[in-house]
Amino acid sequence: MAKQKVLLLGATGHTGSSILKALLKDKSSFEVEALVRPSSAEKPEVKKLQDDLGVKIVIVDIVSAPMEDLVKVLGGIDVFISAIDAMGQASQLRLVTAAKEAGVKRFVPCAWITVCPPGGVMKLRDSKQEVYQEIWKSHVPYTIIDVGYWHQISFPTLPSGKVDYASFWPKTEIHAGGDIPNMLTDLRDIGNFVALIIKDERTLNRFVCTYSDALSENEIFAMIEEMAGEKVARKEVSASDILAMRTTASTGIAADPTNAQAQMMFYLAEYDYSKYVRGDNTPEYAKYLGYLDARELYPEFKPIGFRDFLGELLEGKVERIY
């Protein structure tokens, strides 16, 4: 297969840097450029991409640049990948139009979340759906990749404080009984999966889900307790507690739409309801929705398992991401 020219939006972010790392490892398959907004052009992270990794930086404002500039940037690109932050979904819409005009061969919009149906379950999922619909209306070739929940935000903290170094906050909640399994992918593996998926004709115009494990909260708690030799005091959170959290967050956002804490609480409550009450983020439900399963497509690829991740966590080797 000829080398693919990839343009990556979000190369300095969590998901984007995982993708960049994997694509740069496979130099015989990919030539990668990073799309950067003008306000970030001088950031040290961007300079590092250019100077240390030799990545070509393409500077353009996707929100305000004239359409012909966006078409120019996408000209000659085989695969466009977006890993924009959660709040930025709508700003991909103009890129779809530009990709159509430029003849991009595969548009990978910003999905990268848990499997969840569109239509009112998760606002975040619905904001991504608007982009997918634009792709379908424009008849642009695409692949939509969801990854479950990251290992890095899926572990409870321990009474000893041993894993606090890698956690944003103390976390001991078990939701709605904790028995529903969830697909999990190590953030470091997202890029490895992407490198396989975008070379594969079978994934064109399809949804694909990635995961290393599908584990319930009860299984995760039991695993870390056994490995650490500590008992976690569980805080039970019911389905109605999750809905109450969503209502409180909604009220906070209505009072002040810029309230970042309320927004985060809202997103988390919706994630929790979808994952732990509805049970959306499972391999079986993904299949029902029509997803291809990356574990079945690439049986030779062994992603980092959740148990191995916990081993690294307990050895103090995990990088804190928030």
Local structure of residue 274 (DSSP, 8 states): I
Closest residue (Cβ) to ligand NAP? 13
Q: Which is nearer to ligand NAP, 43 or 56 (CB)?
A: 43
Question: Is position 48 annotated as part of the catalytic site?
Answer: no
Q: Looking at 7, 20, 73, 83, which residue binds ligand NAP (CB under 6 A)?
A: 83
86 forms part of the interface with ligand NAP (CB under 6 A): yes
CB of 1 to ligand NAP, least distance (A): 27
CB of 165 to ligand NAP, least distance (A): 19
Q: What phi and psi, each to the nearest 5 degrees, are found at residue 103?
A: 80, 30
40 forms part of the interface with ligand NAP (CB under 6 A): yes
Q: Residue 259 class from Cβ within 10 Å (0-12 exposed, 13-18 middle, 19+ buried)?
A: middle
Q: Which is nearer to ligand NAP, 153 or 239 (CB)?
A: 153
Angle made by CA atoms 43, 49, 53, in degrees to the nearest 5: 155
214 forms part of the interface with ligand NAP (CB under 6 A): no
15 forms part of the interface with ligand NAP (CB under 6 A): yes
Local structure of residue 3 (DSSP, 8 states): P
User: What's at 25, amino acid-wise?
Assistant: K
Q: Looking at 4, 8, 16, 100, which residue binds ligand NAP (CB under 6 A)?
A: 16
Selecting among 72, 128, 162, 231, the annotated active-site residue is 128
The region of 108-116, 246-254, 284-292, 301-309 touching ligand NAP under the rule CB under 6 A is 108-116
240 forms part of the interface with ligand NAP (CB under 6 A): no
193-196: which pairs have CB atoms within 8 A and are 24 or more residues apart?
193/145, 193/147, 193/294, 193/298, 193/301, 193/303, 194/19, 194/22, 194/23, 194/81, 194/108, 194/145, 195/22, 195/23, 195/25, 195/26, 195/29, 195/30, 196/294, 196/297, 196/298, 196/301
109 forms part of the interface with ligand NAP (CB under 6 A): no
249 forms part of the interface with ligand NAP (CB under 6 A): no
Beta carbons within 10 angstroms of residue 143's beta carbon: 23
Q: Which is nearer to ligand NAP, 43 or 231 (CB)?
A: 43
Q: Looking at 6, 7, 10, 155, which residue binds ligand NAP (CB under 6 A)?
A: 10
CB of 163 to ligand NAP, least distance (A): 18
Range list of β-strands (E), the chain: 4-9, 30-36, 56-59, 79-82, 106-108, 143-146, 149-150, 173-175, 182-185, 206-209, 213-215, 235-237, 292-293
CB of 108 to ligand NAP, least distance (A): 12
> Which 3 state secondary structure label does DSSP give 108?
strand
Residues 110-169 contacting ligand NAP, CB under 6 A = 110, 112-113, 124, 147, 149-150, 153
Q: How many residues bind ligand NAP (CB under 6 A)?
A: 27
Say if CB 81 and CB 7 are below 8 A apart.
yes
Token look-up 């928030």 returns: 322
Of the chain, the end-to-end C-alpha distance in Å amounts to 38
Q: Looking at 4, 12, 143, 216, which residue binds ligand NAP (CB under 6 A)?
A: 12
Query: Would you name the residues annotated as active-site residues?
Result: 128
Binding residues for ligand NAP, rule: CB under 6 A, are: 9-10, 12-16, 35, 37, 40, 43, 62-63, 83-86, 88, 91, 110, 112-113, 124, 147, 149-150, 153
